Amino acid sequence: MIKTRARKWGDSIAVIIPKFIVEAQRIKPHDEVTIFIEKEDDISDLFGKFKTGKTPQQLKDESREGWE
């Protein structure tokens, strides 16, 4: 498994297969390959969407309760 970033390519999105994988798998131009995609969720956009009436520090403190 590798991690890479999707990039804009014209009207599409493209990913780059690193050279070491291309060489190890002997991938050539026009070869058909199968790619499994699993997008990492970015939870930073969730902050501020849910009203709890608590400060960020209070939420952080609550999440750490019982860790000691």
pLDDT tens sequence across 8-65: 999 999 999 999 999 999 999 999 999 888 887 766 666 666 677 788 788 888 888 7
State residue 40's pLDDT score.
Answer: 75
DSSP β-bridge partners for residue 12: 9
How does DSSP classify residue 32?
-
Residue 27: which of 19, 35, 37 has the closest Cα? 19
Say whether pTM exceeds 0.75.
no
Q: How many CB atoms lie within 10 A of CB 17?
A: 13
In Å, how far from its chain's centre is CA 2? 11
- Using an 8 Å Cβ cutoff, are 11 and 19 in contact? no
State residue 52's pLDDT score.
Answer: 74
